[in-house]
Structure 1
Amino acid sequence: MRGREPGDGPLRRPCGPGDTVQVPGAEFSVTTCLPDLTTAGLLQAPEGQFTDRTDWITLHAPGTTNPSGVPGLQVDGYFPDSSTFNTTHGWDHDSQFVVRIPDDWNGSLVVAGAPGVRKQYACDFLFSDFVVARGFAYACTDKGNNGPDFYRDGDRPGDAVAEWHERVTQLTIAARGALGERFGRPPQRTYLAGISNGGYLVRWQLENRPELYDGGVDWEGTLFTPDGPNLFTYLPTAVRYTLGLATAEDMYAAGFARGSEPLWPYHQSFYWGVTQKTYRAGFDPEFDPACPGASAGASLPEIFAPCPSDAAYDAWFADPRSQPVHEALGRISLTGAIGKPLLTLHGTLDTLLPIGLHGDVYTRMITDAQRADMHRYYRIEGGNHVDSLMHLDPEHLRPMLPCFRTAFDALTAWVEDGEEPPPSGTVPRPAGNGATDPALLDTCSLRPES
C-alpha cells in the first residue's frame, strides 16, 4: 500500500462515536465516525448530511463502478470567510470543507479543490471514493466562493479566483495538522488531484506552493494567462455561434476540435454562455453593467444563456483599453514553473476547454520553464470535459475517469518508487461503445501511440 516509508508499520485507528478531530484554523467543524466513507455508504445517511449527490452525479459516466466499505472519520466544517454563497448544511457560509480519514490510513493525504463553481462534495465520486479505498486521507474545499454568482466575491477584479489559491493552501495545511493530531505524525506524502478549475489549482499550487506537496494529477485544468489563450480569446466565438452569428468554420478557427460537433448543442445550453459572462464579470465588471453575469437571469435558461454583448468580447480583449483586465488576469495566471511532479490529462474532444488552447499550451509553458522532466502529458483520444456526456456520441467519446485512476497510481509510483510513468503522448481510444463497454468504463492504459 502506497503512502508509507519502509518501516513505518500499520497506521490503523478505528474510529468511535466520541472521536473529535480538530482542524487548525477552522471556525467550525463537526466530526462523525461512519461505517463507510464512500458515496455508496454516504448516500445511506439522510440526504445532504455527508455528501451532495447533485454536486457530483453529472461528472461521471453512468455505469461507472466505485469501491465501497471504507470505515473512518469525516470532518465537515468551514474556515472564517465573509461570503455566503454556500448554503450546504444550512450554514450559509463559504470556505466549507470536508476531510475524510479512513481507519486504515496509509500515511498520505490527497487534497482537491472543487471543479467549476461547485462545492466541497463535487469530487466525492471521482476522487474521494478511489483514494480513501486505497487508504489515503482526503480533503476538499469549495474554494471560498461557488455557484454562478461567485464573481461577486472580493473587492477587485480577479479576487474571487485569487481566493481559490488561498483556500486550497489553507486546507492542505489544516488537513495535515488534523492528521498529525489523529495519528501522532503528519502525512508522509501529500498529493493534489483536480479536474477543470480544480486542475488549474493543482497547477497553481505546484508552481507557487511546491513545498507543501509531493506531486499532483491535473485533469483538464483551466489555463489562465494574461494575454491568451484564455477563456476570453475563444468563448466569444462560441457565444456568436450560439446566437447564430458564427459558423462551424469560425469555431474550428477559434480552437474547437473537429469531431466535437455532437457536443455543441449541450454546451450551447449549459456551458458556453454562462462561463463567458461569469468570468468576464469576475475580471471586467464594467464591460456590461446591464448584463453582469449569472445575476442577469432569473430562471435557469436565462442564467445559462449568453449575454449578447459577450459576442464581441474578444475584440474588446484585444483593445489596448482593456489592459486592466489583462493585469487582473496576470494576478492569477500560470507560468509553467512547477516545482513537483505533475501528470496532466486532457481529452481531445473537450468542448469547454479545448485541448489545443489549454492542455497543449500549458505543456509548452512547462517546457519553456525548463520543468519538462517533472511532467507527463497524456492527450486522451475521445475524452471530453464531462464523462456523463458519453451518450451524445458513444462511438467516439470515452470516459476520462479510468485514465485519472491510472494516472494517480502512476504518480505515486513515480514519487515513492522512482518508477517512471509512460512517456507523454496521445493515448488512443480503444474500439467500443463509450457509454456501455467495460473496457472503456473501467480501464485505461496511458501508453501513447507508438
Structure 2
Amino acid sequence: MDDENPRENLDTARGGGLNGEILRLAIPAFFALVAEPLFLLSDAAIVGRLGTAQQAGLTIAGQAMATVVGCCVFLAYATTAAVARQVGAGRRREATRQGVDGIWLALILGAFIVAAGVPLAPAIVGFLGENPYATEYLRVALLGAPGMLVVLAGTGILRGLQNGRFPLAVSVAMFALNLGLNVLFVLVLDWGIAGSAWGTVTAQTAGGLVYLGAVVSLARKHRAGLRPDLRGLRTAAASGFALVIRTVTLQATLVLSTRAAAHQGTDVAAAYGISSRIWMLSSFLLDAVAIAGQSLLGRHLGAGDVARARAVTRRMLWWGLGAACAFGAVLLATRTAIPPLFDASPSVSALLLHALVVVALIQPLGGLVFVLDGVLIGAGDMRYLAWAGVATFAAFVPAVRLAADHGIVALWVSLGWWMLIRLGTLAFRARSGRWLVTGAVR
C-alpha cells in the first residue's frame, strides 16, 4: 500500500497520456465499485431461491440501506477531492490528516445510524412498502453501517493519494466473503433472508477493519496523528454538508421509485428490484470514470494546472459516453438471459424484460451525467451540486407520480426524464467554467 511522491505521479501521468492517466485510476475504481452492486446482485440471486415475497423484501430493505449509506457517500467523494488537492500541492502530511478526520467522522455516523436505525426499521419499511421480510433483513443489515462507512472514508483517502489498487483488493475480498457467507447462511444453514443480511454485515465489518489498519499505517508514516481533532471533524462535516444535500436528493429519487414499484404489487417490486440492480451495476461502471475525474481534477487544480484539468474533463466525457453506449448495447443483446439468473417467476420475468429495454436506452444519459458530476465533485463545487440536486428532484416528483399507476416501463421512463434534467444542470455549470478554482483548498 505504498504511496508515491506526488510530483513523480504527475510526471508519470503526463508521460502516459490522458487515456493512460484516466485508465490507471478508472479500472481499479470500477472493479472496487462493482463489488457493492454485486453484493446486492448475489444476495438477490440467493434470496430469490426463497421466494418472490423474500425477493421483494430484499428490494425494499436494500433500497433503505442504499439510502442510508448513500447519504454518507460524501465520506468517499469529498475526501477524495480534498486529499487529492493536498497531494497536488505537495502537502502529503496534511492530506493524511484530513483522511484521519474522515475515518473518525465515519465511526461517529455509523454508531448513530445503528442506534437510531434498528428501532426504526419497521417504520422505515412501512414507508417504502409493508413486507415482514424487509424488516427482518434491515434490522440485521444496519449493524454493518459503521464498517461500510469506514470503507467509504478509507477508499476516499487512498484514491485521493492516487492509490486505486488497495481499494480494489479490499472490495474483491469483501465480495468473495459476502458471497461465501450468503451461500452458507441461507442455503446451507437455512437462516432465511436474515442469513443474507448477516453475510453482508460480516463482510462490511471485515472491510472496515482492513481500512482502519491501512489508515493507521499511513498516519504513522507521515506523522499525521491519530487522535480525533474537533476542528478537523467540524471541517470534514461542513465540507460534506452540501454534498449530503446533493446525495439526499439522489437517494430520495430512488426511494420514491422503489415506493412506487412496491405499491404496484409484489411482481412489480421484484422486477424493479432486479432491474434497478442492473442499472446500479452500469452506474458504478460510469462512476469509475467519474471517480478518476474526482482524483485527477482535484490533483491538477491543487497543482494550479487548469489546462490539464480541462483536457482531462473533455477526455473523460468521451470515455463515459463510450462506456455507457457499450453497456446499453450488451444489455439489449443479453437481456433474455437475465431473468433465469434470479429464478424469476414468469410474471416477474415478463415485467423485467420490458424494464431492461428502457434501462439500456437511457445509458448514454448516464454516461455524461456521471462524468460531469464527478468533475464538479473533484473541483469541490459542492454548493452548486446541492442546489442542482434540489431542482432535479423537484422536476422528478410529478413525473414519478404520473408513472406510479402505469407500470414498470413508465416508472423507468420517469427515471430517464430525471437523468435528462440532471444532464442539463451539470452541462450548464461545466460550460460556465466557474468550477475551475485552483489551490490546495477550494
Q: Same fold (TM over 0.5)?
A: no
TM-score, normalising length from structure 1?
A: 0.29
Higher relative helix content = 2
Higher relative strand content = 1
| Structure with greater contact order relative to length (CA < 8 Å, sep ≥ 6) | 2
